[in-house]
């Protein structure tokens, strides 16, 4: 029992024991973090899920769903901000948990993060493929063998993005700045062109009367209530859980802490700023969408485009297509980066083979782990119906959010002396609220999602018991010479 609960000393959170061969160079400035955050957050959530939820579950009340999910995310974000300001490590929630709750919990969180990020990369790549094919056909170009073209496109984008990540953060960063700017322009156009077309009458039934659905209960909450409902307050809250997908991503910013200049101050700021900007953008887009047309006219497949078609501004379809294709590209890019950083940290601690944590001398990136992640993403996207597994991404993220919120409370009591670049205001109230909000979002996920997640976690525990427990760096006697703090980080 003592071995599996052994804790990483906070001073070693950034891998001080492992030497320079396993450390990353500092590269990001505060504004890069905002771009990173917007890069990974703004994607399928606003381009498609928002409209789907308005049409099927929340009506114009989707605006409230966005606010609810936004508040829950902001609470979680504050907790992430505090912990990453104390432990600026690329392991994010995994490393925080290692320091606060001990090894086996860290592994559990690491395993959940692997699921979240790896699956998300594949899910978003698949969605990207679909969008790109639609964008091409919207230009009136008829593709022969659409399914095959889509498969090839998905393969191509994953190879390209994995290559960019492997070649070095600088290449990726430049590409990211350009693409994020372009997607913000497209979204700006949606808001500016859409605003004058808002008709207050479309908000008429802001609270659409609730409807009991004939389908059997699917979410954990519905099983408790005994039926499924759409619209009304129930629908608004249910939609908020689906919309949480749009906000996740600020947590990925935390994985860049080890590569950020002056991380204890810059990371919290970057994370909070990008989330606030994303929230404002989301609310504006949602407002325009449900304000332009009645929610009953929004199509589930191409919600934003359909709204502009209804009001007769057809050229906006191409702008939205371009924004969505670029938007999802940056989501995949940053997800791959985040996943490499998490796996790199786990490998550095010895819980998976340490060879995966070696940093290429030439490119200064963890190349091996990057190629592995790219390969797995391609396999998943090509051979598994990943679009149906979207909720698993959300449960993985929320699971980590819960531990991070609890971690803030525990850490304040147990290590009050640690330096904190950022502190959650009103602790322990806000972290406790974050925990409650996260659990609430989690019970709104499907029972099936929970079952798959449990299976994945059980498998993970097995891996830990058979491998990680024995190979953990903490299982070895401490080599004195490696404790020189100057060896851990290097600047470039």
Cβ–Cβ under 8 Å, residues 341 and 91: yes
Sign of CA dihedral 255, 359, 263, 83: positive
Cβ neighbour number for residue 275 with a 10 Å cutoff: 27
Contact status: 391 vs ligand ARG (CB under 6 A): no
> Smallest gap, in angstroms, from Cβ of residue 222 to ligand ARG?
24
Q: Is 479 helix (H, G, I), strand (E, B) or coil?
A: coil
Q: Which stretch binds ligand ARG (CB under 6 A): 50-58, 73-81, 248-256, 349-357?
A: 248-256
Q: Is 402 helix (H, G, I), strand (E, B) or coil?
A: helix
Nearest CB to ligand ARG, comparing residues 78 and 117: 117
Residue from 245, 308, 399, 422 in contact with ligand ARG (CB under 6 A): 245
Cβ–Cβ under 8 Å, residues 62 and 50: yes
Q: How many CA atoms lie within 13 A of 44 on its CB side?
A: 26
Residue with tokens 């992430």: 80
Query: Rounded to the nearest 5°, which phi and psi values hold at 213?
Result: -90, 145
Contact status: 76 vs ligand ARG (CB under 6 A): no
Residue from 82, 103, 116, 222 in contact with ligand ARG (CB under 6 A): 116
Site for ligand ARG in 121-180 (CB under 6 A): 124
Give the Å distances, CA to CA, from 62 to 283, 286, 290, 389, 390: 9, 7, 8, 23, 20
Contact status: 323 vs ligand ARG (CB under 6 A): no
Q: Which stretch binds ligand ARG (CB under 6 A): 71-79, 116-124, 142-150, 346-354?
A: 116-124
Residue in 10, 84, 73 with CA at minimum distance from that of residue 254: 84
Nearest CB to ligand ARG, comparing residues 187 and 252: 252
Treating both helix axes as pointing N-terminal to C-terminal, what angle do 103-138 and 93-100 enclose, rounded to 10 degrees? 170
Q: Which stretch binds ligand ARG (CB under 6 A): 36-44, 133-141, 256-264, 282-290?
A: 36-44
Contact status: 40 vs ligand ARG (CB under 6 A): yes
Contact status: 249 vs ligand ARG (CB under 6 A): yes
Nearest CB to ligand ARG, comparing residues 116 and 259: 116
| Tokens, residue 337 | 């980066």
Contact status: 37 vs ligand ARG (CB under 6 A): no
Contact status: 74 vs ligand ARG (CB under 6 A): no
Contact status: 342 vs ligand ARG (CB under 6 A): no
Residue from 15, 45, 59, 232 in contact with ligand ARG (CB under 6 A): 45
> Smallest gap, in angstroms, from Cβ of residue 237 to ligand ARG?
19
Give the Å distances, CA to CA, from 408 to 81, 128, 293: 10, 36, 44
Nearest CB to ligand ARG, comparing residues 79 and 393: 393
> Smallest gap, in angstroms, from Cβ of residue 334 to ligand ARG?
8
- Residue 21, Cβ density class (10 Å: 0-12 exposed, 13-18 middle, ≥19 buried): exposed
* 202 strand-pairing partners: none
Contact status: 43 vs ligand ARG (CB under 6 A): yes
* CA–CA separation, 4 and 319 (whole Å): 52
Q: Which stretch binds ligand ARG (CB under 6 A): 13-21, 35-43, 191-199, 315-323?
A: 35-43
Residue least distant from ligand ARG (Cβ): 43
Residue from 50, 331, 402, 445 in contact with ligand ARG (CB under 6 A): 331
| Tokens, residue 6 | 């052994």
* CA–CA separation, 359 and 366 (whole Å): 4
Give the interface with ligand ARG as residue ranges (CB under 6 A).
Answer: 40-41, 43-45, 116-117, 120, 124, 245-246, 248-249, 251-252, 331, 335, 393, 397
């Amino acid at each position: 029992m003592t071995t599996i609960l052994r804790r990483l000393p906070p001073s070693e959170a950034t891998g001080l024991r492992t030497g320079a061969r396993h450390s990353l160079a500092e590269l990001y400035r505060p504004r890069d973090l905002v771009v990173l955050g917007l890069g990974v957050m703004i994607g399928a959530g606003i381009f498609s899920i928002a409209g789907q939820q308005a049409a099927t579950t929340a009506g114009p009340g989707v605006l409230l769903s966005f606010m609810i999910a936004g508040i829950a995310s902001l609470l979680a974000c504050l907790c992430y901000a505090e912990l990453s300001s104390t432990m600026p490590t690329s392991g994010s929630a995994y490393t925080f948990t290692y320091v606060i709750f001990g090894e086996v919990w860290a592994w559990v969180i690491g395993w959940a993060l692997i699921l979240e990020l790896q699956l998300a990369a594949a899910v978003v790549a698949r969605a990207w493929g679909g969008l790109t094919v639609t964008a091409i056909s919207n230009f009136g170009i008829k593709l022969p063998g659409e399914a095959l073209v889509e498969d090839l496109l998905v393969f191509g984008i994953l190879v390209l993005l994995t290559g960019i990540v492997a070649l070095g953060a600088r290449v990726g960063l430049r590409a990211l700045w350009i693409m994020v700017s372009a997607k913000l322009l497209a979204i700006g156009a949606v808001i500016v062109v859409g605003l004058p077309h808002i008709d207050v009458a479309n908000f008429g039934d802001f609270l659409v009367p609730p409807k009991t659905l004939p389908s059997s209960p699917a979410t954990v909450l519905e099983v408790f209530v005994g039926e499924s409902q759409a619209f009304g307050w129930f629908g608004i809250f249910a939609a908020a859980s689906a919309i949480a997908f749009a906000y996740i991503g600020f947590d990925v910013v935390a994985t860049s802490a080890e590569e950020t200049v002056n991380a204890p101050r810059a990371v919290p700021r970057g994370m909070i700023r990008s989330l606030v900007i994303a929230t404002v953008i989301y609310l504006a887009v949602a407002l325009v969408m449900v304000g332009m047309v009645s929610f009953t006219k929004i199509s589930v497949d191409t919600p934003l485009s359909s709204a502009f078609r209804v009001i007769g501004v057809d050229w906006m379809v191409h702008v939205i297509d371009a924004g969505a294709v670029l938007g999802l590209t940056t989501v995949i890019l940053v997800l791959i980066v985040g996943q490499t950083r998490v796996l790199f940290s786990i490998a550095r601690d010895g819980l998976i083979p340490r060879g995966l944590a070696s940093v290429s001398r030439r490119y200064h990136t963890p190349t091996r782990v990057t190629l592995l992640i790219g390969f797995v993403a391609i396999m998943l996207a090509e051979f598994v119906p990943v679009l149906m597994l979207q909720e698993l991404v959300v449960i993985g993220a929320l699971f980590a959010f819960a531990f991070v919120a609890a971690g803030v409370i525990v850490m304040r009591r147990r290590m009050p002396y640690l330096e904190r670049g950022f502190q959650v205001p009103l602790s322990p109230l806000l972290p406790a609220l974050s925990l409650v909000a996260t659990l609430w979002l989690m019970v709104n996920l499907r029972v099936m999602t929970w079952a798959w997640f449990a299976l994945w976690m059980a498998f993970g525990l097995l891996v830990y018991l058979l491998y990680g427990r024995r190979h953990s760096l903490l299982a070895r006697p401490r080599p004195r010479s490696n404790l020189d703090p100057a060896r851990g980080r290097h600047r470039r």
